[in-house]
Each structure stands twice: as structure tokens, then as C-alpha cells.
Chains A and B, each alone.
Chain A
């Protein structure tokens, strides 16, 4: 069966629950407004089960109700990540088993960009959104060069640390600085190291178009909302291959 409906307590009943806040004081009218919203969202009948004033001029609602929508599971389209998302434990295990040494990562903000927010979120133990940064992974050896690092310094450090991957963060986008800096960085690595010896080049920042990797000469671009685990999973995928 590919056609399904939400399930409350009987097959096909279409029951869902919903909670939300409206920016109006709690009274009869507010409750009517909540039902109206639920109706417009396709809940019919909509049963208002809870309404509570919160602070000045806000009301919180819980609504249960039936929706008539059908879901066709055959027509679901998802964009699949082209690498598996692994846990920290799995990432460490793969590196240990397959690489048999720690994987070296060098990170920096290059150019005049002083915003270490991105690189620190990915590298610092503290991490972001409840996920620890790459420093947390026992099998990753992380060198965080911080902000305003010059391209030659970065290349030198990558060489000295025998970097398997170089992570560059770019937040400032004034006059396309992020694109120019990235091009300068990839050109320098191409010049300094032969193709087989180059570390994986990864750039990240909130304003990059993830499809521009080829054009910028990097192996991968990570955009807004990227988490350390995604980056670590990608590193394992790209440098070591499948996890089996």
C-alpha cells in the first residue's frame, strides 16, 4: 500500500495533533481564531483541547483533529546525502581500523576575515547545536590556526602537519571576498603540491553556493547549518571510503 493517512487510534482516521501560539490575549475569540487556523491547515473537524494565556497578549493552543490529506509514499522525493552520516564512535573506529593513524585536519579563516565563528563551531571541542567539534574525535588530530591566516602560512602548516584535509571558513562576503580568497587558496595548494599529495580542500560559510565546488577548485563546500559530525563523516567518506 502506498497511500497512507495519519493514524490516531483507528486505521484511516487521519487524526493529527498540533500546538502553536497566537499573539493575542486569551478569550473566546482567540479560541475561535485557533480553530480557524487549524481548519485552514486542513484539520476538519478541529478540536481545541487546550488554550492557555502566556504573558501579555499571547495564547498557547493544542488542537487535535482530522485531516483529509492522503500521502503517497511512492511519490516521496528526498535529497540523499552522498555519504553516510556516522556517529563519533563509528568515525573514530573507521579511522583507526582503515587509516591506522590519526587523520590530520588543519583549519583556518583566511584573508582579512576575523570571524572564527564557523571554524570554531566545527573544530572547537565546544562544537555547535549540542554536537561536539572535531577536536572531540580521538582519531582526528586538529590544528586550528584561527583568524586572518595568510594563504602561504596555511599551505606551510598543512605541509608541516601532513594535513589530510584543510578546512577553510569564510564568513565575510563583501565584494565576493569569500570567493576570491577561496580561489587564491586552491591555486596556492595546486602550485605547492602535486595532485596526489594535496590534502582534501574544504571550504565552508553561510553564503557559499554548495554547487560551486568545481568552479572554486575545492573538493567540497559546506553551507549554513553544517554540523561537525557531517564534516567528520564526509572526511571519512572522502579520504577512507566506505565503512564496511
Chain B
């Protein structure tokens, strides 16, 4: 498929530049750890639950270890050394004792002690990884038995009541109405919590907290609905914010199928420290790779702040960077739900042709990635009739350019959280377009040298220019200078910086070791 006449050498150059821009960030991620990476290690080693104030035991244990010996060599060695010296076999019990001040930590010095602690740590975290492997195999079995959606794109719908017990029937109803993927939006502000809440939750702000128990409850409910419908309904949540490594691990253990997981979203939109984000990102991507989870990146967000025509190339640049980081972390192309969106001002002449050009560019640059196609939000005004028309054109671009995952647009975007009828009308819109024009991509070939081809070439050219500038400037400086979006985010500022530690000699992380083996 080469409908745009892209020059393979130019595409190659764009990828090479993305690799050069991204490599220093990978090096940075490989030489640092964070409190959340270490907590994810403990979660995979079986630490669960929270104290009476709701602070998870993984937080208490990492804080205790860090206070005594720092994070520079990882928590695995001091924790499993302490476990042996105290004659315990349950790390959660150790966490409880540590929280009560009854345990002291030291990094083992003798070779035999180090070897013993490493062995124990590998065994414990290996059990966690085995759960993830089993869950992945289980998904593959279910997909084989029940089947994938009959059509592409997969239809992606959101629920967000704040109460997991309200979310469940809504999600099941949405699946019955045709949704292939259900995303549970998180509570506002969860991304800035430096711990993962525990248990089933019934109170969220404009969304429901991501917790292990909520994951489990929703997955079980959708398994039931999948069997009823004879198609596997996928579940999505968010591995973003300060706890993304832990949430990735929990998602793997509870068989979530897709996770929002962008390399820069937290930095730009949540003012999370860049180094914290890149370290947490790499670990969470590695976990997603192992778990067979499809990631969804967040390029659509750039277009909600910047102009969708002027900033079109920043989407391409971010997709190329996300692809590089994803491949580096072991994700395969089928796991890359690279994001983009239909956000051009509809008043602009030729807006639909521009949208087509941009969407087709993403399709052709990443032929084997599913691509996540996001509906209009910025130019939805409350005029629901016009909104429904806009969503129809959005759906048409999705069908014409072979998008993999289509987030269903709501005509009541920016008006209310979707009503039952809004969702029904939106799905009717999608069905009409896919039914009437789902295979139109077979006939649709833009004229050589015409408007669509030229625009795609122009955007790719601008993307290459920007990548060159980022390579020269370094990515951390580019972020600090406000190259992406309009936010300036220097590497020494932002939330979560105090949870970052540089690796010292002898840093040991049994999970990273296994994931990179």
C-alpha cells in the first residue's frame, strides 16, 4: 500500500532521526530508577494490600528501604536480604513489620548474601511475571474461542461514572450495543497520586479510580458478556501519571487488553518531571510488551491545545518517537495503537481533505500498527446536530484510511457525560458509515500529486525538520524549551522528581532483568 507516494528513503530518514533523538532518553531511563518502578517490582513479588490509612504496603516498604539505604541499588536486594535475615517468607509481612519500625534494612555485602538475595528476588518476581504470562495465554485462548470483532476498526467506547458498580452494567450494555473495547476513564487527579488506591471504589471525580480490584471486577464482568456475545470484548485503562509502572503490572496481572501509555503526555499535560516519566515509561512499556497489551499513545492531545493544521507534524514526530521507544522496550507493531485525531476546525476550507491526508499519512508510515483514531472534541460546540455530522465525517475518514481502533465520538461532547441515547445515536452513526462505506478504502486512491498527497508530503517534511532540531537540541532541552505543545518542562522541575534515583554500582532489578532477557 503506497497511496501517498512516500519516498521510502525519506521515511527511513524520519525513523533514523527519531532513533537518534530518542536514544539519549533511553540511556537516561536505563541508568535511573523511581519509587514507582521499585513498587512495581514489589507488586510482582506478591506484596499487596494497604495499611489502615489506605497507604499500600508497597509504598510503606519502599519508603522504609529508601530512608535507610536509598534507592540507588534498587529495593530488591535490601528487601530480600532482610527477608532472609528475619526468617520471613512473606514480603507483605516484612512490609508491615517495616512500617512498624521493627525491621532495618541494609544492602548485603558478601557475595553469598548478594547471590542469595538475588535468587530469592528472582524467584518471587518470577511468580508475578508468571501470572502475567498465564493471563496473556488466557486472553489468546479466549480470543481464539470467542473471536475478534468482525470488522475493523474496533469500536472503542468510554464509561466513566466514578462508581465501579455503576460502570459494570454500563460497560456491559455498551458491549451489547456494539462496543469492542471498553475504556474506564480514571478519576480526575489520579495521575498525580503517588500511590495506587486499593479495593473496589465507588467515589471518583469524572471517572473511576484504577485499582487492582476494579480491574478484576470489570474484566470478570466483560468476560461474562464476551461469552454471551460470542466475541472477546477488550478492556482499557490508563498506565499514566506517577504510578504507571505499578498500574502496568496490575493491568498485566488482571488481563487488561489495552493501556493508554504515552511517552510524553504526563510531562506536557500533567507537569510530571521528564526524567521520572521516561524511566517509568520504559518500565511500563516493557511490562506491556510481556503482557501482550496494546498501548494507546496520546498524540490526539497535542491537537486539543495547538492548531490541528499548524501542529500536524508534531503528531507525526511524537508517533515516530513513541514507535522508537516502544520497539526499544520490546513492543511489537501490532501492540502500537499510535494516536491521532480529527481536530481541524470544520470552518477551514478543505478541512476534510486535510484530515484525510493526515490520517492516511499515519496509516502509511505505520502500516502494521493498529492506530487509534480519536474523534473531534475541540470543535464540538453543543450544537448536537452539527456534532453528529462531524462525527459521521470522522467515521468516514476512519473507514477510508483503515484505522485500527476508533474511539466513538459523542455529539454531546463538552455538553454532558454521554447519555444512553447519545451513545446509541453515536453507535448508529458508526454502523451506518462502516456498513455503507467500510470497504471504500479499496477504491480510494488520492490523485498523484494532488491535494492529499502534497499535504501528506508537506507534513512529513515538517516532521523531519522538527526531528532534526530535536536531535541537535537534545530531547530534554526540546521539552524544556516548549517544543511540544506549548509547555516548557525543564528536566529539573515537575512533580515526582524526588522519587527518581540514579543507579549506583550493583543496582539490581529482577523484573527488568527478566524482561530484557
Contact = CB atoms under 8 A, between A and B. Distances in A.
Given A21-B420, A55-B177, A117 B495 contact: no
Nearest to A115: B189
A21 B270 CA distance: 38
B487 A60 contact: no
Interface in B395-426: 413-414, 419-421, 424-425
B87 to A, nearest CB: 38
Interface stretch (A123-131, A156-164, A214-222): A123-131
B21 to A, nearest CB: 22
Given A55-B177, A60-B421, A136 B486 contact: yes
Contacts of B188: 117, 120-121, 128
B66 interface: no
Contacts of A132: 304-305
Contacts of B424: 52, 54-55, 60
B378 A130 contact: yes
A138 B270 contact: no
Contact of B413 (A52, A126, A130, A136): A130
Nearest to A129: B414
B486 A58 contact: no
A210 B356 CA distance: 48
A124 B269 CA distance: 7
Contacts of A104: none
A12 B189 CA distance: 51
A21 B305 contact: no
Contacts, number: 61
A140 B487 CA distance: 12
A58 B486 CA distance: 45
Contacts of A125: 268-271, 305, 485, 487
B271 A55 contact: no
A132 B377 CA distance: 12
Given A116-B189, A128-B188, 11 more contacts: A20-B421, A21-B420, A55-B176, A58-B420, A117-B189, A120-B189, A125-B270, A130-B378, A132-B304, A138-B486, A146-B495
B67 to A, nearest CB: 19
Given A19-B421, A21-B421, A54-B420, A126 B269 contact: yes
A239 to B, nearest CB: 22
A146 B273 CA distance: 14
A135 interface: yes
Interface in B177-212: 177, 187-189, 192, 205-206
Interface in B249-297: 268-271
Interface residues of A, number: 26
A142 to B, nearest CB: 9
A161 to B, nearest CB: 14
21 contacts: A19-B421, A21-B419, A21-B421, A54-B420, A54-B424, A55-B177, A55-B424, A58-B420, A116-B189, A120-B188, A121-B188, A124-B269, A124-B271, A125-B268, A125-B270, A125-B305, A128-B206, A130-B380, A135-B487, A136-B305, A138-B486
B173 interface: yes
A54 B178 CA distance: 12
A144 interface: yes
A141 B356 CA distance: 37
Contacts of A126: 269-270
- 7 interchain residue pairs of minimum CB distance: A130-B414, A54-B424, A117-B189, A60-B421, A126-B269, A21-B421, A117-B205
A135 B269 CA distance: 9
Interface string B71-103: 000000000000000000000000000000000
A244 to B, nearest CB: 27
A130 B176 contact: no
A135 B493 CA distance: 15
A58 B192 CA distance: 39
Contacts of B377: 130
Contacts of A60: 421, 424-425
B240 to A, nearest CB: 11
A114 to B, nearest CB: 9
Contacts of A129: 414
Contacts of B413: 130
Given A117-B188, A120-B189, A125-B487, A144 B271 contact: yes
B487 A120 contact: no
Most chain A CB inside 10 Å of its own CB: which residue of B419, B421, B485, B486? B421
A54 B419 CA distance: 12
